[in-house]
Amino acid sequence: MKIDKKHIEHHNEQLKAKHQRAFDYLAEDITHVEEIIAKLEKFQIAIPSWALGTGGTRFGRFSGKGEPGTLEQKIEDVGLLHALNRSSGAISLHIPWDIPQDAENIKALAASFGLAFDAVNSNTFQDQPDQEYSYKFGSLQHVDPNVRKQAVQHNIDVINHGIALGSKALTVWLADGSSFPGQLNFREAFQNTLESLKAIYAHLPEDWKLFVEYKAFEPNFYSTTIADWGQSLLLANKLGDKAYTLVDLGHHLPNANIEQIVSLLLMEGKLAGFHFNDSKYADDDLTAGSVKPYQLFLIFNELVEGMDARGIDHATGLGWMIDASHNLKDPLVDLLQSVDAIKLAYAQALLVDREALKAAQQRNDVVAAQEILQNAYRTDLRPVVAEARLRQGAALNPVALFNELDVRNKLIEERGNQSVATGL
């Protein structure tokens, strides 16, 4: 289904007077409110193709209804999101779950919804029915060169799919590691991984980037070969200028200071971008901002500070993507909530008085520094984020409009009760 512009206009008409009052009240005290709105309008967050269906746990999956069963339907779903919020203008494909059979047609379909193709993602964490060697004991790190060669070739195939669609980056996340002491020689596993990544890197087009994602644990529980930002950065530095470290918010050990990691990676010019989600314990893949919204704000505070220090364009300099799983909520509604939480945290970071914060830091005024950050965080900027949406032709309240238009039931009518998204 496609969302008619008239529906959005009608929805906005109903809410406009109330919105205007809230926005005017807020805008009076924010001298650079227009600058914040302009930045919000440009800021797009890519949607991963695997997040459009219901996720599962290792104990089971409760499939939703009317899920997108084909790549075309997944693009249509991201098109729906983008029509509602004008902030989800890209889709990130996972290969082999979403292999484009006819790249030109897929590109044209995406363009009809105003969507571009974000980073492509390879998968060597599970075996495919037609592959010769198993990844049970790893892929790029494997002791058998034949397995490594097969995994390298898969990544090259993924790059080629990405080239056909206009993607500009490959994201590599490896499940490689070990679950028992003694299982693996750490140094050899790292060296094998480096050599494999070098072979993949050699195939990258000139204007592409390689994103090396890390994760502390799971599915392996004793060691992970790219377990943290240090190991990822080590690889990225050895690979070259086109290799970067990708931060997934759920891939750290508990209480890791992610905002400090972000700051230092930006300093080194090695931050690829983000996989947004939220968590209570580990890689919980919950809605962004649902558990630790203050942490999300502190991360954006460092992102804005670090990007401005290096002259990086906020909207285009880094890769912004959601990587979440939806077990209880409608995936599309969950994604709308995540995008909104990300933009709100970004807006709050743009509100921070940088000069005053710098001055407070210089005189070791700990109290003032805290006040400055929390003043920004505790200002309710939802009307500013909504204003940016309004000016872009999006809905003032995307979740409410999704419900008003009964989108899920219409998708079920089109696709049926049994339609299940491809994925794990």
Q: Considering all CA atoms of the chain, what is the largest pairwise distance in Å, rounded to the nearest integer?
A: 66
Stretch of residues binding Mn ion (CB under 5 A), selected from 90-98, 268-276, 298-306, 396-404? 268-276
Three-state secondary structure call for residue 381: coil
Of 155 and 397, the one with the shorter C-beta distance to Mn ion is: 155
Stretch of residues binding Mn ion (CB under 5 A), selected from 41-49, 275-283, 309-317, 385-393? 275-283
Stretch of residues binding Mn ion (CB under 5 A), selected from 6-14, 34-42, 267-275, 361-369? 267-275
CA-nearest of 244, 168, 234 to 211 is 244
Residues whose CB is less than 8 angstroms from the CB of residue 33 and which lie 6 or more positions away in sequence, other chains included = 26, 27, 384
Q: How far is CA 375 from CA 160, 235, 293, 388, in A?
A: 48, 39, 15, 21
* Residue 94 in tokens: 């996972």
Of 175 and 350, the one with the shorter C-beta distance to Mn ion is: 175
Of 278 and 323, the one with the shorter C-beta distance to Mn ion is: 323
Q: Tell me if 49 sits within 8 A of 98, measured CB to CB.
A: yes
Minimum separation from the CB atom of position 29 to Mn ion (A): 38
Minimum separation from the CB atom of position 283 to Mn ion (A): 8
Among 228, 259, 302, 323, binds Mn ion (CB under 5 A): 323
Q: How far is CA 232 from CA 59, 257, 299, in A?
A: 31, 17, 19
Helix (H), strand (E) at residue 267: helix 258-267
- The rounded distance, in Å, linking the Cα atoms of 125 and 288 is 25
Of 118 and 323, the one with the shorter C-beta distance to Mn ion is: 323
Of 248 and 334, the one with the shorter C-beta distance to Mn ion is: 248
Stretch of residues binding Mn ion (CB under 5 A), selected from 20-28, 162-170, 273-281, 303-311? 273-281
Three-state secondary structure call for residue 352: coil
- Buried b / exposed e across 209-241, counting CB within 10 Å, b at 16+? bbbbbbbebeebeebbbbbbbebbbbbbeebee
Of 86 and 215, the one with the shorter C-beta distance to Mn ion is: 215
Of 77 and 323, the one with the shorter C-beta distance to Mn ion is: 323
Please work out, in degrees rounded to the nearest 5, the angle formed at the alpha carbon of residue 409 by the alpha carbons of 408 and 411: 65
- The rounded distance, in Å, linking the Cα atoms of 233 and 317 is 18
The count of residues interacting with Mn ion (CB under 5 A) is 3
Q: What is the DSSP string of 207-224?
A: T-EEEEE--SSSS-SSEE
Minimum separation from the CB atom of position 275 to Mn ion (A): 4
Among 67, 98, 248, 305, binds Mn ion (CB under 5 A): 248
Stretch of residues binding Mn ion (CB under 5 A), selected from 16-24, 119-127, 281-289, 320-328? 320-328
CA-nearest of 339, 337, 347 to 303 is 347
Minimum separation from the CB atom of position 1 to Mn ion (A): 29
Stretch of residues binding Mn ion (CB under 5 A), selected from 6-14, 266-274, 319-327, 365-373? 319-327
Minimum separation from the CB atom of position 323 to Mn ion (A): 4
Among 142, 161, 209, 275, binds Mn ion (CB under 5 A): 275
Of 56 and 114, the one with the shorter C-beta distance to Mn ion is: 56
Minimum separation from the CB atom of position 48 to Mn ion (A): 8
Minimum separation from the CB atom of position 284 to Mn ion (A): 12
Of 43 and 214, the one with the shorter C-beta distance to Mn ion is: 214
Q: Tell me if 74 sits within 8 A of 52, measured CB to CB.
A: yes
Stretch of residues binding Mn ion (CB under 5 A), selected from 150-158, 225-233, 274-282, 331-339? 274-282
Of 224 and 348, the one with the shorter C-beta distance to Mn ion is: 224
Q: Tell me if 40 sits within 8 A of 346, measured CB to CB.
A: yes
Minimum separation from the CB atom of position 277 to Mn ion (A): 8
CA-nearest of 232, 224, 226 to 264 is 232
Interacting residues with Mn ion (CB under 5 A): 248, 275, 323
